[in-house]
């Protein structure tokens, strides 16, 4: 297959590219280094040292594997760039990771919020228009998030829910209550993608992904130069990645509020497998399908306790220190999200309890002298004047 990976320099995009390339697919990447630039502007950096720009990264991959990955350094917001990438590469599948993924960043202020929504919504619109014009048969695999649903007091279905109303029934998009203005951008994307499938006949899989953790993948582990980025700062780090870094450097685990917030999680290896399963099993033309992409649910306190126990196994003394919750969210709530469609396609999950020590804590220890402690504590509040 010819696979276009948008956001190919990112935490998930880079390892996804290596996996597809290793399996013999033709891979092209697009990235404008937005993530790197925003981290640098905040005075922080990936825990793992990145081998250089995309040119250096794909050269390292070619040396290690003998396989070639091509790339474009460019912005999806630039229509000429997006159009010409689609016209020259003519992908069979498009894996779209190329967005700004930070809830705190989108809540920092007007400028950051507008940047997030403009980047994500307009970038995805350009992708949809390029597909409609150039490769209408191609399959869009788009990364959404479980955070699109929020935490309703009923079970969360995979994208659609059957509703009975005044004696009539219909299968309708599941109601969305996103938890940040970043999550709102994902909801807007979902609406636009669904529309493009219904009206233009495109085919798309919207992967409502949980929170990803981990550094290790089969390909990234082949050579130090192939490692993916790993962020732990308040803005771009995800909860579990941050807890693990905190455990290793002896910083208390910062549980926000009462810590009953429950979310779906998955290992980075499972992200790659899910995307591969979606690519191998495309939907019909005109079909918009949604998979809830996570493997296990944990509350924030449960996560912290798991990290504490795993730390103990390797001699780390880990303290848990709840702090004032900077977010506006339910701290105790019902959570039952369905996630069977990827399992039905053959996903075999890696479980957190089995990977925490070796895949996370031990790996993080190797880079612990690179940790920038100032970047960890939350500064962004959901109510700016609250
Ligand atoms: N990591 C997670 O836990 C997680 C969970 C749920 C959903 N997601 C989604 O998965 C996707 C990938 O996440 P990630 O953690 O790898 O993020 P990331 O920031 O590491 O990767 C995204 C990449 O896209 C690039 N990019 C952003 N805007 C672009 C533009 N306009 N043009 C070209 N490139 C652009 C960035 O420079 C970055 O390299 C995101 O859409 C994110 O919302 C991630």
Tens-digit pLDDT profile for residues 229-243: 999 999 999 889 999
Gap between the Cα atoms of 226 and 231, Å rounded? 16
Per the annotation, the verdict on 142 as an active-site residue is: no
Distance in Å, CA 98 to ligand 1 centroid? 5
Mean pLDDT of 356-381: 94
**Token pair of 358, please?**
């070796």
**Token pair of 374, please?**
């100032």
Gap between the Cα atoms of 98 and 6, Å rounded? 5
pLDDT at 228 over 80: yes
Gap between the Cα atoms of 268 and 272, Å rounded? 7
Mean pLDDT of 353-371: 94
Query: How confident is the model over 184-218, as pLDDT tens digits?
Result: 999 999 999 999 999 999 999 999 999 999 999 99
Distance in Å, CA 235 to ligand 1 centroid? 13
Query: How confident is the model over 241-286, as pLDDT tens digits?
Result: 999 999 999 999 999 999 999 999 999 999 999 999 999 999 999 9
Pocket test for ligand 1, best of 8, 99, 141 (most atoms within 8 A of CB): 99
- Phi/psi for 11 (5° steps) reads -50, -45
pLDDT at 107 over 80: yes
The number of the ligand 1 atom at minimal distance from the alpha carbon of 31 is 34
The number of the ligand 1 atom at minimal distance from the alpha carbon of 9 is 39
Average pLDDT, the chain: 97
The fourth-level CATH superfamily of domain 2-375 is NAD(P)-binding Rossmann-like Domain (3.40.50.720)
pLDDT at 226 over 90: yes
What is the crossing angle of helices 300-313 and 239-249, to 10°?
40
The number of the ligand 1 atom at minimal distance from the alpha carbon of 77 is 31
pLDDT at 384 over 90: no
Per the annotation, the verdict on 72 as an active-site residue is: no
Task: Give the rounded percent of residues in the chain with a pLDDT score beyond 90.
Answer: 98
Q: Which of 77, 55, 68, 58 is nearest to 6 (CA)?
A: 77
Mean pLDDT of 23-45: 98
Of 174, 182, 213, 288, the catalytic one is: 182
Read off the pLDDT band of 321 (50, 70, 90): very high
Query: How confident is the model over 288-302, as pLDDT tens digits?
Result: 999 999 999 999 999
Read off the pLDDT band of 154 (50, 70, 90): very high
Q: In what order do the strands lie in the sheet with 26-31?
A: 70-73, 26-31, 2-6, 93-96, 139-145, 203-209, 288-293
Mean pLDDT of 155-183: 98
Gap between the Cα atoms of 360 and 214, Å rounded? 6
Mean pLDDT of 374-384: 93
pLDDT at 372 over 90: yes
Mean pLDDT of 162-176: 98
pLDDT at 386 over 80: no
pLDDT of residue 170: 98
- pTM for the whole thing? 0.98
- Residue-range domain boundaries for the chain: 2-375
Per the annotation, the verdict on 186 as an active-site residue is: yes
Q: Which protein residues touch ligand 1 with a CB less than 6 Å away?
A: 7, 9-13, 30-35, 75-77, 97-101, 119, 123, 143, 145, 209, 211-212, 229, 238
Pocket test for ligand 1, best of 17, 35, 290 (most atoms within 8 A of CB): 35
Of 44, 82, 174, 186, the catalytic one is: 186
User: Residues near 157 by Cβ (< 8 Å), separated by ≥ 6?
Assistant: 174, 338
Q: What sign does the CA torsion over 300, 304, 305, 310 have?
A: positive
Gap between the Cα atoms of 312 and 185, Å rounded? 40
């Amino acid at each position: 297959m010819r696979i276009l990976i948008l956001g190919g320099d990112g935490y998930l995009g880079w390892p996804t590219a290596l996996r597809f390339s290793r399996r013999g697919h033709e891979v092209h990447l697009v990235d404008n280094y937005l993530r790197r630039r925003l981290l640098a502007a905040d005075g922080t950096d990936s825990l793992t040292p990145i081998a250089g720009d995309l040119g250096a990264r794909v050269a390292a991959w070619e040396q290690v594997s003998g396989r070639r990955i091509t790339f474009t350094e460019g912005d999806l917001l630039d229509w000429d760039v997006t159009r010409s990438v689609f016209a020259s590469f003519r992908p069979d599948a498009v894996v779209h990771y190329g967005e700004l993924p930070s809830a705190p960043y989108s809540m920092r202020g007007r400028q950051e919020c507008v940047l997030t929504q403009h980047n994500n919504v307009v970038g995805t619109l350009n992708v949809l228009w390029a597909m409609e014009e150039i490769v209408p048969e191609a399959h869009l695999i788009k990364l959404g998030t479980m955070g699109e649903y929020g935490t309703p007091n009923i079970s969360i279905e995979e994208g659609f829910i059957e509703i009975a109303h005044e004696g009539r029934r219909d299968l309708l998009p599941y109601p969305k209550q996103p938890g940040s203005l970043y999550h709102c951008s994902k909801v807007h994307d979902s609406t636009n993608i669904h529309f493009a499938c219904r009206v233009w006949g495109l085919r798309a899989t919207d992967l409502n992904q949980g929170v990803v953790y981990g550094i290790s993948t089969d390909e990234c582990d082949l050579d130090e130069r192939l490692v993916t980025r790993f962020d732990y700062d308040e803005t771009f780090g995800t909860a579990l990645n941050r807890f693990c870094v905190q455990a290793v450097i002896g910083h208390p685990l910062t549980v926000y509020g009462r810590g009953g917030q429950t979310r779906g999680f998955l290992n980075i290896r499972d992200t790659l497998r899910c995307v591969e399963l979606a690519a191998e099993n495309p939907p019909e033309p005109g079909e918009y399908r949604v998979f809830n992409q996570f493997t296990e649910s944990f509350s924030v306190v449960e996560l912290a306790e798991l990290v504490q126990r795993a730390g103990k196994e390797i001699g780390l003394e880990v303290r848990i220190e709840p702090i004032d919750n900077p977010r506006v969210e339910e701290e105790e709530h019902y959570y039952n999200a369905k996630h069977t469609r990827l399992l039905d396609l053959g996903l075999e999950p890696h479980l957190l309890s089995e990977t925490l020590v070796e895949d996370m804590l031990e790996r993080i220890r190797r880079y612990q002298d690179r940790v920038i402690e100032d970047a960890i504590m939350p500064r962004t509040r959901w109510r700016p004047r609250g």
